[in-house]
Amino acid sequence: MDKILFLKPVLCERLWGGRNLEQFGYNLPAGKIGEAWVIAAHDNGSSLIINGKYSGKTLKEAYKEDYKLFTQKQYEKFPLLIKILDASDELSVQVHPDDNYAKKYENGELGKTECWYVLDAEKNSQLIYGHTAKNHEEFNKKIDNKEWDKLFVKENVKKGDFFYIPAGTLHAIGGGILIYEVQQNSDTTYRVYDYDRVDKNGNKRELHIEKTKATTTVPFKKIVPDYTKTIKEDAIITNLAQERYFGVYKIELDGKTELEKNKTGNLFTVLNGAGVIKIDGQTFSLKKGDSFILTTACSNYELVGEMFLIGSYDRA
């Protein structure tokens, strides 16, 4: 049974994208590439497995065939979606529905709770995280009157910042920010404001005003991360989130460390540096941009090198 599976990302053109994803070794097509779906099993894009029994199949196909290799419990579909986002321009101000709303109004789709780790940010970069409205009447009025500056809460952002964004949180990534995103396996977004931009065909993108009003949490409550750090040999392991749908942690390695994996599958991306991972006598090379899954068949592993990785796992 395969203990480690490597994946090829799905690359997505976006109005706000750029070329910064090239630094991860990805062969970008022409255009503004805004997203790399590095571990994905969604109808709108599924990563290709490039080693082991399922080599040549998509993660979506492999999960459908043998869910026990990836998760302890059986979900209707693979539970998480992992992305790297290159926001060369502002993303639309948006909100995502929760599971109940999405199931009812989006053909059984999952809701979308997510989190962001800031990999890089230009000087004076900002993002939108929340709103000022104290009640729904005030929220709806500010939207109807297009009082965006009075409604949106802006946060200064720097490399290494982390944001947990439950479904119902109004948010937007600002320009000049590179993000690693862990989220529920959903592609449902409701836009409330898009800077009056037009696409390459001269059309404005669709807004979802009524759905935004129906799904945004009012009032907004900022969630401050509670980090816990553990030193394990030559590694610093920082717990970033342990929430309803996922756990997320980062590993900063300068040397080697032996680690024990929990029972479910763990999803990793090497975001800087290089090294190797050793599992039961087998050694696999790792470099910046590599994404892989340690399956349920893997219990212990050793990392060697100088690397920065982010790992995640399902908790639903």
Instruction: Using alpha carbons, list the distances in angstroms from residue 262 to 40, 60, 198.
Output: 21, 22, 46
Partners of 306 in the β-ladder? 254, 274
Residue 227 CB: number of other CB atoms within 10 A? 12
**Catalytic option among 14, 19, 191, 205:** 191
Between the alpha carbon of residue 1 and those of residues 30, 34, 80, the distances in Å are 38, 35, 22
Rounded Cα distance, 45 and 43, in Å: 6
What residue type is 97 in one-letter code? Answer: P
CA angle 120, 150, 169 (to 5 degrees): 55
Binding-site residue ranges = 96, 114, 171
* Beta-carbon count within 10 A of 95 CB: 25
Residue 199 · residue 113 · CB < 8 Å:
no
Two tokens, residue 283: 């050694």
Q: How far is Cα 185 from Cα 107, in angstroms, rounded to an integer?
A: 14
Annotated binding site for Zn(2+): 96, 114, 171
Contact between residue 34 and residue 77 where contact means Cβ atoms under 8 Å apart: no
Told to judge if 197 belongs to the known catalytic residues of this protein, a careful annotator would answer no
DSSP 8-state code for residue 59: H
Residues identified as active-site: 191
